[in-house]
Structure 1
Amino acid sequence: MEDTRIWSFEKSLWTGDADVYRELVDDECVMVLPAQPFVYKAEAAIEAVSDTPRWSDVEFSDQQVMRPQEGLITIAYKATAHRDGEDYIAYCTTTMRRLEHDVWRVVQHQQTLPPVAGGATEG
């Protein structure tokens, strides 16, 4: 999959509804999200998306694409998402595997929130 299509695929996961997740998220996917219970298997992630308002727009920066082997793509990026005056920033990774020609599924996704300014630090 070429880079332009990768980022379009990823954007659809941020802005699309639960049907998009059902189509693009593998049954064996694992996700780590910044909300309880934090670690989700595919069906739980789809259910969580069904109950969450979708982002109206998302921009990606600090984008990296890795192709460690044929049929496997891992991306890393900073996401800045928007909806109804609300902004959300997270650092993310997603891994996709090819099932067949032009058919890809997400097998891993992770979001890390940046530290809050003035928050507690370890020391």
Structure 2
Amino acid sequence: MSDEDTLWEMEERFWTQGADGARQMTAKNAIFVFPYPAGILQGDALWREGEVAQRWRSIEMSERVFSSKDDIAVLAYRVSGERRDEPIYEALCSSTYLRDDGSWLRLSHQQTPAS
């Protein structure tokens, strides 16, 4: 499996797996930027915030863009996500990954609502 395929698979799991799985794929001091009111989160605050801890029932990623250089990779995409009893969430997203000791870890993630 190529690095690109691996990272897209990890990104999808980030949205749909539990917080424990997402935490294992995320660098210790990663920075996430979410729409208000969550805002900018780092470290343990990531896992206390409902926007991160609550998983999505299903997601669809489109308009995928991948860029990499050495041990750094960036994914950018449009997501459509569904949670129980909530409207469909549409956002433009990006995630930055670093390959550390052969494993990819998310360093940052950002979401901008698309609707």
Instruction: Specify the TM-score bucket, using the shorter chain as the normaliser.
Output: 0.7 to 0.9
Q: Runs of 5+ in structure 2 lacking a partner?
A: none
- Give 1 or 2 for the bigger CA radius of gyration: 1
1:36-115 map, 5 Å? 36-49=37-50, 52-67=53-68, 69-86=69-86, 87-101=88-102, 103-115=103-115
* 8 Å CA contact 1:95, 1:108 repeated in 2: yes
* 8 Å CA contact 2:16, 2:55 repeated in 1: yes
- Cα offset, 1:49, TM superposition: 4.6
Identity %: 25
Moved over 6 A (4+): none
* 8 Å CA contact 1:17, 1:49 repeated in 2: no
- Which residue of structure 2 lines up, in the alignment, with residue 5 of structure 1? 6
When normalised by structure 1's length, the TM-score is: 0.82
Q: Runs of 5+ in structure 1 lacking a partner?
A: 116-123
Matched, 1:21 2:26: no
When normalised by structure 2's length, the TM-score is: 0.87
- The alignment covers a number of residue pairs equal to 113
Computed over aligned residues only, the root mean square deviation of the Cα atoms, in angstroms, reads 1.9
**AA at the equivalent of 1:84:** R
